[in-house]
Chains A and B, each alone.
Chain A
């Protein structure tokens, strides 16, 4: 499986208000919700599809709902949550626009992190090896990697604006653990990942 992005936790904690209601899509073993429950006293629910992860969450006392994010968000009423988080999961989703729209329907704010396919190393790898599916964040071959979406930060940001989503806040992850909230020149080439706080424009 792709790596679970724990480096984003401090930023998510910073963005999520004390005591808010949080829905974590693709919550994995529930570690983000556990963190947020500890530091921000959030009332959180995770959504997961994997039986093993469901068992992990339930055994930890994390509230989890087994569902396919691509299909099942419709069960929650509008505005049920303050924040809906999609951490390192967007790339495995079949219908990302629909999911983003659903996130901003059931929640007031969305937090989405993505890895940057435009990052220099990814570009070089494709260029040098001619192989698309061996980027650092992928496992397996093209036929069995869970990652379906290859997107750069620039593409992501301009396209979600087009569907009426406002980027309130962003953090870019550069090599050597440099995290910046300003969009430096060449960010689309040099940043490995980005995380965004979004709301309806």
Chain B
């Protein structure tokens, strides 16, 4: 078999008008990086919106020219896959506040000609949603078959679905939560502290020099510990040592140390430390239920507060959790099911048996693919 990899490019939509954040802060212009796969049909009703997780980006599937690795969810998106690009028009964009093409703290502030750094407005999951609405309007899509995402992507999917239920036929939420627990916030806080304790962070002003790579890589190492189950870590690494002969003290010697070191180093090459702070802060503050009953939705198209929630009635939902995921445990997914059942959404729930912890949402694609394929094909 000779497969020529399907090539894609990340597109950038420049939005030359002010974007208002939930905080009330305004950016004069933004960029939105996105990719699309498959074709929009004539009725324009086969679009599926994919939401990425904390460290993800718009490159969800296929290959960039010259790359050896495909997009982050290539196992799920493509011809004949869970999100079948022969049937659906799949869209994925980088979140606002990120660093992979969409405007974020590393972007240039036109007022100063310098990166925003910490002058970038505080960020919420709802801001991520609103930016994607700008993109959808540009693409001329107002009805979508499904919105789907895992982890932080699941949060965006839920927020988007709840804020604009009339736009979606269904949602799929994988290994996610409607609000972070104290433990989840605690891990993120340690990550943020690691960055801020790095002297190179310099209150977010490091774009002229060396970024706080040490702090960011420690944050990523902590993340990776929480993404794996204890059992999997033990099986994968145990107490194996890479270099038994080495006499150097306090150099990574255990396999697990090398693994985390590698994850940390490869992360700093592609991720901005300030984006990490902004995005983790946004997901820590995410509280779906509270956000739905919050006082003022100033971009809410003049709808009566809460009335739009009735539009959820009869819509379809799918919630998937992984048995060994202790970062976003199945209990949090079950809470999502109960909430949406109360909104009269037809929600199904499945817990996939796996040893791969939270990482399973990126790696265990066989069962979720079957389920998602079945779910999508059962939609009208």
Contacts and interface: CB of A to CB of B under 8 A. Distances in A.
A54 interface: yes
Interface of B: 316, 318, 334, 337-338, 341, 344, 346-351, 353, 367, 370-371, 374-375, 377-379
Contact of B371 (A45, A54, A62): A54
B346 A63 contact: yes
Contacts of B379: 61
A60 B378 contact: yes
B377 A66 contact: no
B367 A51 contact: yes
Interface in A41-84: 43, 45, 51, 54-55, 57-67, 75-76, 80
Given A63-B346, A63-B348, A65-B349, A58 B318 contact: yes
Contact of B350 (A45, A51, A60, A62): A51
Interface of A: 43, 45, 51, 54-55, 57-67, 75-76, 80
A75 B338 contact: yes
A57 B346 CA distance: 12
Contact of A57 (B334, B338, B347, B348): B348
Contacts of A76: 338
B374 A59 contact: yes
B206 to A, nearest CB: 47
Contacts of B353: 51
8 contacts: A45-B341, A51-B353, A51-B367, A54-B348, A54-B371, A58-B371, A58-B375, A59-B375
Contacts of B350: 51, 54, 58, 64, 66
A55 B378 contact: no
A55 B348 contact: no
Nearest to A80: B341
A151 to B, nearest CB: 30
A55 B374 contact: yes
A58 B350 CA distance: 10
A61 B337 contact: no
B341 A58 contact: no
Contact of A58 (B334, B344, B378): B378
* CB-based closest 6 A-B pairs: A59-B374, A61-B378, A63-B346, A66-B350, A65-B349, A58-B374
Contacts of A45: 341
A65 B345 CA distance: 13
A45 B319 CA distance: 14
A95 to B, nearest CB: 20
Nearest to A61: B378
A71 to B, nearest CB: 12
Nearest to B349: A65
Nearest to A51: B367
A80 B367 CA distance: 30
B174 to A, nearest CB: 14
A180 to B, nearest CB: 37
A4 B371 CA distance: 23
A80 B375 CA distance: 25
A84 to B, nearest CB: 15
A58 B349 CA distance: 9
B378 A65 contact: no
Contacts of B318: 58
Given A58-B375, A62-B348, 10 more contacts: A45-B341, A51-B350, A54-B348, A55-B371, A58-B348, A59-B375, A63-B346, A64-B348, A64-B350, A80-B341
Given A55-B370, A75-B338, A66 B378 contact: no
